[in-house]
Structure 1
Amino acid sequence: MAIDAQEREQETKRVQSVRSRMKERIAELRETVDERRSEVTEIGRSFWDDISVNADNADDIIETAASMAQQEHVLQGQKRSFQVAQDALYKLLRVVDAPYFARIDFKELGEQAREEIYIGLTSFIDPKTDEMLVYDWRAPIAALFYDYPLGPATYRTPEMDVSGELELKRQYIIKYGELQDVFDTGLSIGDEMLQRMLSRSADEKMSSIVTTIQREQNQIIRDDQHKVLVVQGAAGSGKTSVALQRIAYLLYKYRTTLSADNMILFSPNSLFSDYVSRVLPELGEATMQQTTFQDYLTFKLSDLGLQLEDPYDQLEFILTGTTGDPAYEMRMQSIRYKTSEAFLHIMEAYGEQLKTSGLAFVDFAVGSKVLITGAELSERFYGKASILALGERMEQLSEWVLERLDQVQADAEKRFFRKLMREPKYMGAEPELKKMARARAHRAIAPLKERAQKLAFVDVLSLYKSMFASQELLPQISRQLGETLPAAWPALAAYTGEALEQGILRYEDATPLVYLKGLVEGQLRVGTIRYCLVDEAQDYSPFHYAYLRKLFPRARFTLLGDWNQGIFAHANAGDTGAFSSISELMQEAETTTIRLVKSYRSTREITEFASAILPGGEPVEPFARSGPPPRLTQAADEDELHRRIAAAVQARLDGGAGSVAVICKTERETARAHAALKPLLPSLARINKDTLHYEAGVMILPAYLAKGLEFDAVILYNAGAAVYAEARERKLLYTACTRPLHELDIFYLGELSPFLAGS
């Protein structure tokens, strides 16, 4: 609801007043930053001038060290002061052109006057009057804006709940320092504001995510009661936005005890990481640790010299394979079993067995001379019973090896010295020869010490291979656990062993191998991580979940996904218990699941069209934003297909689309289509799994890389029955059709996919 002219004039004057005070503060901060920078530079330049270095005796050395420590303390203090001023300056520069986006008027119970609360990306206090001109969107009282309509309302502070009456809710559109529009609304977020925000391009929409938070999204953002929070969100429901807002909220609320280094976000791919990395700074927080699960596995296995398969190569195999083909069916069995909770139990039992026997130790040798044999290590490790965990015992063994190597190095130094003394060409002072001997001994033994420190004296890869090479090991363990091995276990074991002998580690074997490595080496826990967020959580297997719980024992987990888009072979999408089983896998009773059913990304026409592809899937409720219906176009042959697609892309660009994506089924199809379309669309960029940066424009990519991304317009390359017909391809087609904000064009050769028959 629009406001009258007089109120609008008052609001316009307030915007200018707040901006004027912000500009004054910015000028003051610029001076402070310049002063602090000069002070830091001067202290650094004169660091040694202010220190009297004296090493004549022990007391002088202690005095010199104390002087250095004092000077370093002064320098670090000035650096911190400089950083605080610089951060404050950056925050104000970021919001000065749009200082706030909302206002609420709240009258606390028992009070006569109502308080006007203006809400923005960051708080701002008038330095002259100490008046709070703008409240941070993460402040407790700001939750009223997101959670309540007009009427009775309550917000929670660390000390108590505060109740009262919410008398006004107002929203602003301020751009380039000018008040462009203002609305009053009785809803959580006015539909008029949402319509405006959602009609923008993809890049603009991500930059305004705080202004359109819905009540159910705010519940997720501010949840600090549950140790495992599972979010089932329909495509376009704001899962990614919610994840980033949750990070920013937690860093704000627990700013004295929590830093970005205590949080980690697992993204689906590097392209997606780049896409979201620009948003956190806009929310006023430092970028947290981001990685993909593949990058983590690569890091943990880098010392084993294996060729690690990429998850997208695994998916490419699945999507291009033929059902019924023996090699294809064997691979599918391998994936399903090794990503299961049953296989995790096997691995745990194997770890217990290794406490008493079975570890394969590697010799420590220099050239052909063996210094410590594997048999000695085995005797030392298994020589007496121990109740300690494998990792703790390995640490003890490492210390023993290092002591042995210290002695070996000392003996080698003596031998080298005697040899140098006998060599005429090394005639010189005794201290010089001792220094040479020490250096030579160090060069010989240092690599062995590094191995010992890294616990690299157990052949973990051989241990994993033995699980499949032995005809009795896993059958025996499975019988003890009451588990059942796959019916084709002998063939599956041989299939795995052959790949490992060739130095190939398939993706389904990577996490079990990392887990075994952690069990043996005792490096299974990262205690510094307090919050772990997993995006596209439907792509993680039961084994992944259980492993993450063990890896981050102190962490609270936020798992965001859409089980309608579970396209990997191990995904539980659509299965009964896809959510309830997570609490068991994570071994955490304090688990809750929140469903986001409303989709804000696409128009109603596109959302309803895509939902029909999965008639039995998770419910999806479209937002009331209309646009042109999806267009289906049949082409007679590939030449006509490419001409029509090129024309459609150009039409979308002419219509104002900033990002247009041509989506194919697989990487193989993407490569062929790119080669054919490039002459017709010179600006067409090909996106693959190695692409690191996301840029708007015209691009072509496989559907599985489009997950988590959105585009102004989408062109589906070929939705014919020859491409999308098998059950495993239904969710991939759904994923592709849920990427556009405004327009969807579907082309096909031959018959249309049966999944689109109802369209």
Structure 2
Amino acid sequence: MTSTDPALRHTLIRERAHHDRCRTALAGMVEGADEQVVIGVNASASGADAEVLGYRLRSQAKALHELPEGPLFFGRLDFGGEHDEQDKQDEHQALHIGRLRITEHPAEPPLVVDWRAPVSRAFYQASARDPQGVAVRRRFGWAPGSRGESGDLTGLEDEHLDRGESRASEIVAREIERPRVGPMRDIAATIQPDQDDLVRGDLAVSLCVQGAPGTGKTAVGLHRAAYLLYTHPQRIRRGGLLILGPNRTFLSYISEVLPALGETGVRQSTLRDEIARHPGKGVDGRDTAVVKHDGRMAEVLRRALYARVAAGQAGAVEVPDGSYRWRVPEGRLERILAGVRDEEPPYAVGRERVRTRIVRVIQEQAERRGGPPGAAWVQKISRARAVGAYVDTVWPRVRPEEVVAQLFMEPEVLEAAADGVLDGDEQKALLWARPPRSWKSARWSAADLVLLDEVAGLIEHPQGYGHVVVDEAQDLSPMECRAIARRAAFGSVTVLGDLAQGTTPWAARSWRTVLGHLGKPDAAVVPLTTGFRVPAVVLELANRLLERVDVEVPAARSLRGDGELRFREADGDLPGAVVGAVRDALGREGSVGVVAADADVARVREALGAAGIESGDAEEVGARVAVVAASVVKGLEYDHVVAVEPAAIVEAEERGLHRLYVVVTRAVAGLEVVHGRPLPF
């Protein structure tokens, strides 16, 4: 339909009226949720029931209040029969699809169906070859940045699947290619069939998505989280859902996606924030960090912890009980200790098992002497000084910091724990050059925090989550994977990443290795290779880099042919060339990311400032121009990227080609490469 088509104008009037009706209904839902909170406070129920009811009602009201403003539906499905908008339409056969279910009354058919509902799947999966009962699929076009005013509904597309009609959607293409300003948007309106399959995967199934740049892997992971919360609300909320990003900049970038989908109670965090027992201000050299992140450290730490369990050093246990003394001989104690060790419980649990079994032996003696003792007697024996002293001697209390600090401070302790696991140079790399007086004054590094978490997990299992979404997982070390695995031991995971973008010294070369360390070796690995955001001309350049990196991943292809790739030689004035490139980019619509090697960031920002161009940094979401260090640009994207001196980016780190691959694929409209040195392509 064209904008002058009377039928289109009539249809838009009807759909705008429906949107007004939905807006009124949503306001009623918000008001009703607030009233239910008040009613719930006064409800007669037991304390526990009232607390649960109140929490649910307040959570529902909070979610409705925090729903961001925007269009309430983006699609519609008409089922069965010929479609005649003017006089034959059966409204009961039409379903509007949106980000939230909207209804005027719970018992009535909804005005808008949640995109996650089973019936909505046909919106994403139906085709002319397999219409799934859909006669017409309609997509709505809204003005960019619409806050949900009905007048912002500017167009629509109808795809008559019942007539075998199949075509690419111009509305979807415009939405995908819309300039990127501010935080990441949700993609509920533009999910593609292969993405939808991943989003709607079973909660019990762990999944790994190998996603090339611009394929929407992060969006898929976030929408999968929203889908699981919708489909399994009780199971997920009971266990919790955790989104793990690589850094806080990335989390701020994705922070508005889940609230836009009606989900506000999800924890979004970094692994460091999850495990941090200390500030982590220490700095490791490269070789030291590599050893600390190596998966073999798990065995070294386990040996170091359980080396503190010492049999045969305490003798027999004698417990006074009035005028009588109960005695547990040394041989029996050693068998108890060995039995508990063989069961391999968490260290803290093992301590209590030793105590409990000693008390049980004494209880059996008391039963033979005078009949079953009472619970108070058993508790008294359990607290007896002799029992506690024995347990403290053979299975002492310990802090993770004590275990790790002793390893790094005492060469003989490290040698015993690392024998046959780490070689001499690796052990030397772990030892502190200037040991602190005690663990309390130690300056722990980021890698140390992972080791402390490993020991803490050996002492007592951490609270787990029902599902964990891990983004940029290719950069995780084996020890970091183990930290995540402990938090998903009884849940499932969604792993997102791209092996070609691995930039840490311990970055993965194989997803099977990563999944093994995560405790999910059987998880399916699914590739996404069709790019929707990054233009073809940029991906072609990236694929040239892909041939030179040491991972085997399929090359990406793009559905977009509208991007630009330009090269600008500096001719001895690199800052001036950067300023010129940024001025050109500002003449186009959208955000501009100026990405340089970390050491060059200050110089680039100074040059832009001298030229009167204001710039922010990576954490200033929404800044028109951002100057970003190459080391933190991963996961971000800009409409226009100015890549400054690729040779310097490559030389700045061991996996510099991988880093450059990340840099060039941040562009979703245009890429300009500014260089004064030969290009490493």
Q: Which residue of 2 aligns with 1:641?
A: 574
Answering whether residue 405 of structure 2 is matched by residue 489 of structure 1, we say no
Q: Which residue of 2 aligns with 1:655?
A: 588
TM-superposed deviation, 1:101: 2.4
Identify unmatched segments of 5+ residues in structure 2: 82-89, 144-148, 314-332, 357-391
1:576-607: CA deviation from partner (whole Å, max 9, x where unpaired): xx112234323335411111111222211112
CA distance in 1, matches of 2:59, 2:431: 59
Answering whether residue 536 of structure 2 is matched by residue 604 of structure 1, we say yes
Answering whether residue 303 of structure 2 is matched by residue 335 of structure 1, we say no
CA distance in 2, matches of 1:137, 1:263: 20
Q: Which residue of 1 aligns with 2:19?
A: 19
TM-superposed deviation, 1:398: 12
CA distance in 1, matches of 2:584, 2:188: 32
Check conservation: 1:664, 1:701, Cα contact below 8 A: yes
CA distance in 2, matches of 1:477, 1:665: 40
Q: Which residue of 2 aligns with 1:752?
A: 678
Amino acid of the structure 2 residue aligned with 1:244:
L
Q: Which residue of 1 aligns with 2:472?
A: 536
Evaluate the alpha carbon distance shift between residue 6 and residue 685 of structure 1 in structure 2; reply closer, same or farther with a 3 A threshold.
closer
Q: Which residue of 2 aligns with 1:673?
A: 604
Q: Which residue of 1 aligns with 2:481?
A: 545
Match of 1:458 among 389, 398, 419: 398
- Taking the TM superposition and a 5 Å limit, the aligned residue runs for 1:713-752 are 713-720=640-647, 724=651, 728-749=655-676, 751-752=677-678
TM-superposed deviation, 1:211: 0.9
Match of 1:525 among 446, 462, 479: 462
- Taking the TM superposition and a 5 Å limit, the aligned residue runs for 1:240-259 are 240-259=218-237
Q: Which residue of 1 aligns with 2:388?
A: none
Evaluate the alpha carbon distance shift between residue 698 and residue 4 of structure 1 in structure 2; reply closer, same or farther with a 3 A threshold.
closer
Match of 2:507 among 562, 571, 586: 571
Check conservation: 1:235, 1:599, Cα contact below 8 A: yes
| TM-score using structure 1 length | 0.69
CA distance in 2, matches of 1:358, 1:489: 33
Evaluate the alpha carbon distance shift between residue 569 and residue 499 of structure 1 in structure 2; reply closer, same or farther with a 3 A threshold.
farther
Check conservation: 2:207, 2:523, Cα contact below 8 A: yes
CA distance in 2, matches of 1:71, 1:466: 48
Amino acid of the structure 2 residue aligned with 1:739:
R
What secondary structure is seen at the aligned counterpart in 1 of 2:296? helix
CA distance in 2, matches of 1:475, 1:571: 27
Identify unmatched segments of 5+ residues in structure 1: 45-66, 108-112, 154-163, 315-330, 360-380, 400-451
TM-superposed deviation, 1:138: 0.3
Number of positions where the alignment pairs a residue of Structure 1 with one of Structure 2: 596
Answering whether residue 227 of structure 2 is matched by residue 296 of structure 1, we say no
Q: Which residue of 2 aligns with 1:349?
A: 303
TM-superposed deviation, 1:34: 7.0
What secondary structure is seen at the aligned counterpart in 2 of 1:685? coil
Q: Which residue of 1 aligns with 2:74?
A: 100
Match of 1:144 among 90, 98, 122: 122
Q: Which residue of 2 aligns with 1:631?
A: 566
Match of 1:593 among 518, 525, 534: 525
Evaluate the alpha carbon distance shift between residue 35 and residue 219 of structure 1 in structure 2; reply closer, same or farther with a 3 A threshold.
closer
- RMSD of aligned Cα (Å): 4.0
TM-superposed deviation, 1:476: 4.7
TM-superposed deviation, 1:271: 1.3
Match of 2:244 among 244, 266, 269: 266
TM-superposed deviation, 1:262: 0.5
Amino acid of the structure 2 residue aligned with 1:626:
G
What secondary structure is seen at the aligned counterpart in 2 of 1:557? strand
Amino acid of the structure 1 residue aligned with 2:502:
G
What secondary structure is seen at the aligned counterpart in 1 of 2:112? strand
Evaluate the alpha carbon distance shift between residue 686 and residue 152 of structure 1 in structure 2; reply closer, same or farther with a 3 A threshold.
closer
TM-superposed deviation, 1:727: 5.7
Check conservation: 1:605, 1:628, Cα contact below 8 A: yes
CA distance in 2, matches of 1:627, 1:499: 59
Check conservation: 1:604, 1:624, Cα contact below 8 A: yes
1:374-412: CA deviation from partner (whole Å, max 9, x where unpaired): xxxxxxx9997261541124568999xxxxxxxxxxxxx
TM-superposed deviation, 1:336: 2.9
Evaluate the alpha carbon distance shift between residue 101 and residue 670 of structure 1 in structure 2; reply closer, same or farther with a 3 A threshold.
same
Q: Which residue of 1 aligns with 2:177?
A: 199
Evaluate the alpha carbon distance shift between residue 491 and residue 250 of structure 1 in structure 2; reply closer, same or farther with a 3 A threshold.
same
* % same residue: 23
Q: Which residue of 2 aligns with 1:708?
A: 635
CA distance in 2, matches of 1:476, 1:683: 58
Match of 1:509 among 448, 466, 469: 448
Check conservation: 2:650, 2:659, Cα contact below 8 A: no
- Taking the TM superposition and a 5 Å limit, the aligned residue runs for 1:432-447 are none
- The farther-off stretch of 715-724 and 81-90 is 81-90
Q: Which residue of 2 aligns with 1:699?
A: 626
TM-superposed deviation, 1:358: 13
Evaluate the alpha carbon distance shift between residue 494 and residue 128 of structure 1 in structure 2; reply closer, same or farther with a 3 A threshold.
closer
Evaluate the alpha carbon distance shift between residue 738 and residue 382 of structure 1 in structure 2; reply closer, same or farther with a 3 A threshold.
farther
Amino acid of the structure 2 residue aligned with 1:512:
L
TM-superposed deviation, 1:347: 2.4
Match of 1:181 among 152, 155, 166: 155
Q: Which residue of 2 aligns with 1:584?
A: 516
Amino acid of the structure 2 residue aligned with 1:525:
P
CA distance in 2, matches of 1:593, 1:94: 36
CA distance in 2, matches of 1:147, 1:702: 40
1:30-67: CA deviation from partner (whole Å, max 9, x where unpaired): 664676688799x79xxxxxxxxxxxxxxxxxxxxxx9
CA distance in 1, matches of 2:312, 2:543: 53
CA distance in 2, matches of 1:680, 1:543: 46
CA distance in 2, matches of 1:499, 1:7: 80
1:66-104: CA deviation from partner (whole Å, max 9, x where unpaired): x9x97998899678657646655765x845x44332435
TM-superposed deviation, 1:633: 1.5
Q: Which residue of 1 aligns with 2:385?
A: none
CA distance in 2, matches of 1:202, 1:350: 51
CA distance in 2, matches of 1:264, 1:335: 26
Evaluate the alpha carbon distance shift between residue 198 and residue 681 of structure 1 in structure 2; reply closer, same or farther with a 3 A threshold.
farther
Q: Which residue of 2 aligns with 1:275?
A: 253
TM-superposed deviation, 1:540: 0.5
CA distance in 2, matches of 1:476, 1:30: 64
TM-superposed deviation, 1:500: 9.7
TM-superposed deviation, 1:545: 1.4
Check conservation: 2:640, 2:669, Cα contact below 8 A: yes
| TM-score using structure 2 length | 0.77
What secondary structure is seen at the aligned counterpart in 1 of 2:641? strand
- The farther-off stretch of 563-572 and 279-288 is 279-288
Amino acid of the structure 2 residue aligned with 1:348:
R
CA distance in 2, matches of 1:569, 1:198: 34
Amino acid of the structure 2 residue aligned with 1:168:
V
Evaluate the alpha carbon distance shift between residue 189 and residue 343 of structure 1 in structure 2; reply closer, same or farther with a 3 A threshold.
farther
TM-superposed deviation, 1:195: 2.1
CA distance in 2, matches of 1:493, 1:650: 49
Q: Which residue of 2 aligns with 1:135?
A: 113
Check conservation: 2:78, 2:95, Cα contact below 8 A: yes
TM-superposed deviation, 1:697: 1.6
Evaluate the alpha carbon distance shift between residue 485 and residue 258 of structure 1 in structure 2; reply closer, same or farther with a 3 A threshold.
closer
TM-superposed deviation, 1:221: 0.8
Q: Which residue of 2 aligns with 1:285?
A: 263
